[in-house]
Amino acid sequence: MTEKTVRVRHGLPGVLALLALALAVVPATGLKAATAAQFRIGSRVVATAEPPVSRPSGKPCVVTVFEHEAFDDRGDGSSMAARPHRFAFASPRGCTGGWSKVVLEADFSVPAGRQFDRTVALWLGGVNLYFGTTIEPKPGVAQHWHVERDLTDYAALFKQAQAGQMILNNWVSPSTNQPIYVDVRLVFYPANKGQPAALAADRLYPLSSDPRGEQTALQQAGDGLSREIAFPRNVERAYLDVIAQSQAHDERWYTCVDKAYLAKTRDYSLESFEACDGGSFRGVEVLVDGKPAGLAPVYPWIFTGGVAPHLWLPTPAIQTTNFIPARVDLTPFAGLFDDGKPHTVAVRVPGTDHFFNVAANLLVYQDPHASQLSGGLTRDTLAAQQPAGPVVRDTLHADGAGRIVGTIDTDLAQSYTIAGRLHTPRGDIDTTVRYTGGFHNHQTFARPGAKRYDETIDQLGTMSLAVERRLDGKRLDGYTVEQRDPLFLASRKTMRTTGQDFTAQVAMKQGHHLETTRTEAGGAAYHALLDERLATRDHADGKTIPDPLDRTRFQHDEAGSERVSFRDSLGSCYRSSIQSRNERLVAASEGTDCPGNANRLDSRSRPDHPWLAPLEPVPVDSK
């Protein structure tokens, strides 16, 4: 396996330079021009309405990680043993005085032909920088797409030389004949008088066991990803970023049922008469020293081969190519981390039934004015109050013709309060985290005819988070996060006696709603709201998953739409809407209802971030 040494460039060449300039906070029309470039009416190439990363003005330094790197291993296409492509990273010379923003950019392409969607992850020094999946091509349609991620929180990682690797499990064989090409860059915007260095974590601790980094497969509910860490003695805040990607039997976990219902509902499945058990709930659980320390939802990511592949042309499902991590606030444990003893941080995925890929990065912020702090937990209701598992109810029964019909309802409510106290030279800091999570999955099974199997899945996951810090009893700062992730699937499956096993009309809706409010002791407040909505429908033909997109001559009737909006109190406004028909882009609009009907992103805004903006509390010593 070859190792590449990354190259540093000052500024961006050609198209990239124009894109970076357009995304800077300059005239609002610049952002509109840059994003509208992907919206070519009539195109069958990937199109998404999701917002880009905001950019500062000024000339950045660029480190090229990969340049048209080919992922084309030959062998068994079902193998999970991908060959990592390695690289050596060095901090950009001439841009080492602090950065106002650090952005990952990646461009992917796959020639027209036959290939599955593949999992891809980028790592540096064990830290996960990017995680997503690729797009399936068609015999006459090559695909290319662009992803970005704001890595400013991880800036400390880039201040020294590191070894990294990209893992893209792509295989070339007689049945899957196309390589996937990748270009990756790290873009560093130097801090200056008008754009100060952004607040970033002082230390990063990857939970990966590989020093370069690699995702960990959790095969069942009791499996975990963990690391024992010797912390510095002055930890003030801590957060864990987690990505939990469903695979194999768990890939479409929202369609699964408990094992007791499997035989009764198997014929409703679109998976070539297969179905999955393990129930319809999956979640993230974080543990500290073996005890529950935090919860987070698992987003129902749908890959471009998922459910029915033609649903996702030309618009993939939300976050398909660029997973957004869930962030868990572990600040109440700061006093425990400061005791000079090693502590184990772990991640589990309750409900896992083979399997989940998991990556996790721990971000630690230190007190710059004290070399040693002390403290501990003052309240912990997570372990004591959590339900044993979701509540499942069913009305399955045989109708007058002896056909199984009815419903399966799965519900789960979770809540906890964790508080910790930190003794500092400036006083006691009390941090309280209040979390409430809700999950509902309603499955309906109907038989309107001898050859018809109709199923609907109506699911909603919610999360409410409120965090407050107090200094000697006086409010210091705090924030709230509200998240809603709806999912709807309807299939009308008709059995056939010749040719394929069945045909089905399939419709899906997906959403992601995230809202945050942050306040400081001085009264300053920040508010941001992201809302994403996607709908798509098409026909499915027989075995929808096992073969790439060119293995059917079935007449498809795809229709889809995606709408995304983002606003915040910095004045940012982003709106994008696209529509597709018969796997071609037919309409697009940008900036509607924004000032001047043009998109504008302030360089400090974080529309790509799970909490929409960096958490930058006022330093304690300034109070």
β pairing state of 343-348 and 127-133: unpaired
Percent of the chain topping pLDDT 70: 87
Cα maximum dimension of the chain: 79
**Residues 340 and 243: beta-carbon distance below 8 Å:** no
What is the model's pLDDT at position 33? Answer: 34
What is the model's pLDDT at position 451? Answer: 92
Please give the angle made by the CA atoms of 519, 520 and 523, to the nearest 5 degrees: 90
What is the model's pLDDT at position 66? Answer: 98
Residue type, 269: S
3-state secondary structure at position 464? strand
pLDDT tens-digit profile of 391-410? 999 999 999 999 999 999 99
Least confident of 3-7, 46-50, 61-65, 312-316: 3-7
**Residues 120 and 67: beta-carbon distance below 8 Å:** no
DSSP of 39-80, one letter per residue? --TT--S---------B-SSPPEEEEEEEEEEE-EES-TT--
Nearest to 262 by CA among 349, 353, 350, 348: 353
pTM of the model: 0.91
Q: In angstroms, rounded to a whole number, what is the distance separating the alpha carbons of residues 549 and 564?
A: 28
Which one is predicted more confidently, 221 or 427?
Answer: 427
Least confident of 42-56, 92-106, 450-464: 92-106
Residues 572-578 have a mean pLDDT of: 97
Alpha-helix residue ranges (DSSP H) falling in 521-589: none
Q: In which band, very low, low, confident or very high, does the pLDDT at 51 lie, cut at 50, 70 and 90?
A: very high
**Residues 490 and 308: beta-carbon distance below 8 Å:** no
Place of tokens 């799970």: 610
Name the burial class of residue 514, with classes exposed (0-12), middle (13-18) and buried (19+) by CB atoms within 10 angstroms of its CB. buried
Q: What number of CA atoms fall less than 13 Å from residue 114's CA on the CB side? A: 13
Q: In angstroms, rounded to a whole number, what is the distance separating the alpha carbons of residues 423 and 429?
A: 7
Question: 355 preceded by cis ω (within 30°)?
Answer: yes
Residues 416-422 have a mean pLDDT of: 97
Residues 263-273 have a mean pLDDT of: 84
CB atoms within 10 A of CB 160: 10
Q: 222-243 b/e with 16+ CB inside 10 Å = b?
A: ebbbbbeeebbebbbbbbbbbb
Q: In angstroms, rounded to a whole number, what is the distance separating the alpha carbons of residues 426 and 230?
A: 25
The conformational region for residue 75 under phi > 0 = left, psi -120 to 50 = alpha, else beta, is left
DSSP 6: P
Which one is predicted more confidently, 309 or 464?
Answer: 464
Q: In which band, very low, low, confident or very high, does the pLDDT at 29 lie, cut at 50, 70 and 90?
A: very low
Q: Which residues contact 194 (CB under 8 A, 6 or more apart)?
A: none
Q: In angstroms, rounded to a whole number, what is the distance separating the alpha carbons of residues 446 and 452?
A: 8
DSSP of 309-363, one letter per residue? GGGGSSSPPTTTTSPPPEEEE-GGGHHHHTTSS-EEEEEE-TT-EEEEEEEEEEE
**Residues 194 and 27: beta-carbon distance below 8 Å:** no
What is the model's pLDDT at position 12? Answer: 39
Percent of the chain topping pLDDT 90: 72
**Residues 347 and 242: beta-carbon distance below 8 Å:** yes
Take residue 80 and report the two structure tokens written for it.
Answer: 């999970």
Take residue 463 and report the two structure tokens written for it.
Answer: 């999360």
Cα 607 to Cα 434, 567, 569, distances in angstroms: 24, 9, 12
DSSP run (H or E) holding 28: helix 28-36
Residues 108-134 have a mean pLDDT of: 95
Q: Is pLDDT at 7 greater than 70 in this prediction?
A: no
DSSP run (H or E) holding 32: helix 28-36
Q: Is pLDDT at 546 greater than 70 in this prediction?
A: no
Place of tokens 């860490």: 229
Q: In which band, very low, low, confident or very high, does the pLDDT at 598 lie, cut at 50, 70 and 90?
A: very high
Least confident of 175-179, 240-244, 485-489: 175-179
Across the chain, what does the average pLDDT equal? 88
3-state helix, strand, coil in the chain (%, to 5): 10, 50, 40
Least confident of 3-7, 28-32, 340-344, 593-597: 28-32
Q: Is pLDDT at 17 greater than 50 in this prediction?
A: no
Least confident of 17-31, 81-95, 263-277, 430-444: 17-31
Residues 376-393 have a mean pLDDT of: 88
Residues 228-234 have a mean pLDDT of: 98
What is the model's pLDDT at position 618? Answer: 45
Domain spans in the chain, listed from the N-terminal domain onward? 3-622
Q: Is pLDDT at 21 greater than 70 in this prediction?
A: no
Neighbouring-strand partners of residue 445 = 406, 455
Residues 354-378 have a mean pLDDT of: 96
